């Protein structure tokens, strides 16, 4: 089974957009659509319902999606075990902390963290006043409210 087709399917299912998923993988929309059709032929089921304006998961697609995610996770783990592939941590980490905590504990380790995880962008919100952590959509918050 074509793991790149599976990767495209998972991205299309997450985005509900075949063209956008294809672009993320460097594929033209027509190529992405053809690759998904090939995967559907391989599994013997329509995984996505397509119209000119909308994409949705079929019943079979909903059933296949967790297995597709597991296939990709296993592929990544196998390649990492052989020293191939990339399990590099990337993305934005939204972190809220008090200014004092940041000065004492975050600042000393920040250069090492950024060197070790160059693909991570830190969005630090430092404040000694109360803030709404839910509205801030923080991934991590360390607060000390007395």
pLDDT single digits (tens) 7-52: 999 999 999 999 999 998 999 999 999 999 999 999 999 999 998 7
Host domain of residue 119: 91-142
Task: Say how many C-beta atoms besides its own lie within 10 A of residue 13's C-beta.
Answer: 22
* Strand blocks (E) in the chain: 48-50, 55-57, 91-97, 120-126, 140-142
Instruction: Count how many domains the chain has.
Output: 2
Are 67 and 19 found together in one domain? yes
Query: How many C-alpha atoms does 78 have within 13 Å on its Cβ side?
Result: 6
Mean pLDDT of the region 130-144: 81
CATH of the domain at 20: 1.10.10.10
Distance CA 122, CA 8 (A): 28
Nearest to 128 by CA among 143, 106, 110: 143
Classify 118 as helix, strand or coil: coil
pLDDT at 119: 82
Highest mean pLDDT of the ranges 57-61, 73-77, 81-85, 121-125: 57-61
Task: Look at residue 133 in the predicted model and tell me its pLDDT.
Answer: 76
pLDDT at position 100, please? 87
Which among 105, 90, 95, 83 has a CA at the least distance from the CA of 127? 95
Residue 5: per-residue pLDDT: 95
Lowest mean pLDDT among 21-25, 61-65, 131-135: 131-135
CA distance linking residue 135 with residue 50, whole number of Å: 35
User: 75 and 120 share a domain?
Assistant: no
* pLDDT surpasses 90 at 109: yes
| pLDDT higher than 70, residue 145 | no
Cα 142 from chain centroid (whole Å) = 24
């Amino acid at each position: 089974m074509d793991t790149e087709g599976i990767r495209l399917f998972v991205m299309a299912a997450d985005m509900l957009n075949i063209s956008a998923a294809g672009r993320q993988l460097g594929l033209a929309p027509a190529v992405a659509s053809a690759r998904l059709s090939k995967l559907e032929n391989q599994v013997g089921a329509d995984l996505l319902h397509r119209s000119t304006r909308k994409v949705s998961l079929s019943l079979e697609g909903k059933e296949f999606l967790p297995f597709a995610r597991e296939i990709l996770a296993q592929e990544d783990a196998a390649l990492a075990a052989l020293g191939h592939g990339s399990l590099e941590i990337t993305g934005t980490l939204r972190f809220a902390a008090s200014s004092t905590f940041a000065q004492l504990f975050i600042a000393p380790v920040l250069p090492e963290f950024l060197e070790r995880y160059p693909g991570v962008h830190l969005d630090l919100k430092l404040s000694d006043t109360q803030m709404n952590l839910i509205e801030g959509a923080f991934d991590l918050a360390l607060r000390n409210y007395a």
